[in-house]
Each structure stands twice: as C-alpha cells, then as structure tokens.
Chains A and B, each alone.
Chain A
Amino acid sequence: MPDQHPKVAILGCCGIGQTVSTVIRRAVYAVRDARPESVVLIGSGPLTGDVPEVLEAASRHPLVVIDGCSPRCATKLAEGKQLEVAATIYAGRILTQNRLSLLGEKREELGERGLAASRAIADSILETVDRLLQEQSNPAAG
C-alpha cells in the first residue's frame, strides 16, 4: 500500500568513534520527533547489514545524508548501496557556521555543547526535510 503522506528518509553516519557521530544520532532522533509522520530514519548499521526493509525505505523516499567527519562515511555508504541522494549535510559545516564546538564533550554522554550542536544540526536537517516534503507535495513548483 503506498504511503499516504510524502516522506523523507534520513541517513546519518551515527558511528561510534567520534563525538560528532553521537551528536548526529541525537539530531536525527530530534528530527524524527519533530516530523513523526514525514520522516523515516535509516540506520547506517542496518544499511551495512543489507537489511531489506531498510534498503527499501532508503530507496523509496528522497534521501538526506548527514556526514559527521572528513571520510564522509554516510555518503560512501549511500553510494555503495546505489541510493540516490537528494541532499547532503556536513555536520562540520553546521558547527562552523554556528560557531559551535565539541571541545570537552564525551561521545558516550553529551553535555551542553554537544546538545547545542545536536540542535543546530537537527534544525538544518529539518529545513532540508521541509523543503523536500514541499517539493513532493508541489512537484510543479519544485
């Protein structure tokens, strides 16, 4: 049965090694909570595991990719799984633009700075999500 509402899929790197990965993980959860009917979260882990329903969801909806650091793992993952990427967000750029630092933050437990960074990244994702949702609703205008 086709989706009743347009949706956007979100693939964040959500790795484990870098603090920014935890920041992105919190950000994508915040986006899901803000747009529960319109967002599908794509886990990088299940994507590397070739979980069929995750691959299908990532293919079916416009895909927003969030990279955490310079190796751009989420982008490489999307490319490797032959997913069409509608938009890419680089966390580092968001942090720089907003003059945010993760200095002193712990990857296993974000403090004030980490949560502020997470909110800024979530806001950026939401802007992109809303734009893509609008384009789906008004394809002639998009």
Chain B
Amino acid sequence: MPNSVCIQPCLGLEMNLTTIGRQASYLAHQRLGAERAHLGCAPALYANVHEDVVFLMIDYVIAVESCDKGCANHLVREKGGSVHATVRVDETLKAAGFDLASLPGDHAPLDHPAVVAAAEEIVRVAEALLGSGRE
C-alpha cells in the first residue's frame, strides 16, 4: 500500500481558482513533507517525464481541481493511473464562505486565507488516504 500521495493540480491558467489550487498544492506539499507527498506536474506527466509517471504508480493520487472540467482526473486516467480522491477548490472555498470572485488572479501568497483553506483540505484528504491502508 502507498505511503505517499501525489498532489496533482489541474494547472489551469485563466481562472483565479487555478492560482489558488496551485498555491494550495505547494502549501499542502510543504505541510505533508517531501517524504509523504509529491507534486504531480500535468505537462510533465503528459510528456511522460519518468518521475511524474512513477508518482502515479507508487502514490495515492489526489486530483486538485479548480472547476468541474476535471482536467487532472482526465489526464491521470489517460496515463493509466487512478485518482484516489479529488479536492474541488471551488467547492471547498465556497463551503468555507469565500467570495470566489474576489480572490486574487495571477498570484496568491502561501499565507492567503483561501490558499490555506484549500491546502488544509488537501492535507485532510491526504492524511485520510495515508491512514486508510487502501491499496
């Protein structure tokens, strides 16, 4: 059973929530630590960069989606991997009471409340998977 997670963000570009998702992925990776978490890179995975392909084989994969288009899920499945959990940044932040339209666009620091909220959800999901003993 895996002892690490691959945080696989959608890496969109145009929506502010894709920036929040990206930064939340960095923060979650920091909080979980490099031994328990890897960052999956969509263009690298598409290009079959060895490290990113291996993540799908050895990790629990957490897709971090910023909307309902499901890009990270689509890519992981296309590459023969499984998504063990999906964190929807939009839904997480809506539930936490954030005004999504007012969130920063091109960049958000790691201590932005929305980044922290999304990262906490990623970490919660990661801890649940790592503690689950699932195959």
- A-side residues, CB < 8 A to B, are 13-17, 21, 25-26, 28-29, 41-46, 48-51, 71-74, 76-77, 80, 107-109
Max count, chain B CB within 10 A of own CB: residue among A45, A50, A51: A45
Are B110 and A17 in contact, with the CB atoms below 8 A? no
Q: Which residues of A contact B42 (CB under 8 A)?
A: 15-16, 44-45, 48
In the assembled complex, B94 has its CB within 8 A of some CB on chain A: no
Q: List 6 A-B contacts (CB under 8 A).
A: A14-B13, A48-B78, A49-B69, A73-B41, A74-B43, A107-B26
With A50-B74, A108-B110: A45-B10 Cβ-Cβ less than 8 Å: yes
With A16-B41, A21-B41, A49-B74: A41-B47 Cβ-Cβ less than 8 Å: no
- Per the bound structure, the CA–CA distance linking A15 and B46 in Å amounts to 11
Are B70 and A73 in contact, with the CB atoms below 8 A? no
- Per the bound structure, the CA–CA distance linking A68 and B125 in Å amounts to 31
Cβ distance B60 to chain A, nearest Cβ, rounded Å:
18
With A25-B13, A73-B47: A49-B72 Cβ-Cβ less than 8 Å: yes
Q: Which of A15, A25, A26, A42 contacts B44 (CB 8 A)?
A: A15
- Per the bound structure, the CA–CA distance linking A14 and B44 in Å amounts to 10
Are A51 and B26 in contact, with the CB atoms below 8 A? no
Are A43 and B41 in contact, with the CB atoms below 8 A? no
With A51-B69, A108-B23: A73-B44 Cβ-Cβ less than 8 Å: yes
With A15-B44, A73-B49, A80-B46: A48-B75 Cβ-Cβ less than 8 Å: yes
In the assembled complex, B109 has its CB within 8 A of some CB on chain A: yes
Are A16 and B9 in contact, with the CB atoms below 8 A? yes
With A26-B107, A48-B75: A43-B46 Cβ-Cβ less than 8 Å: no
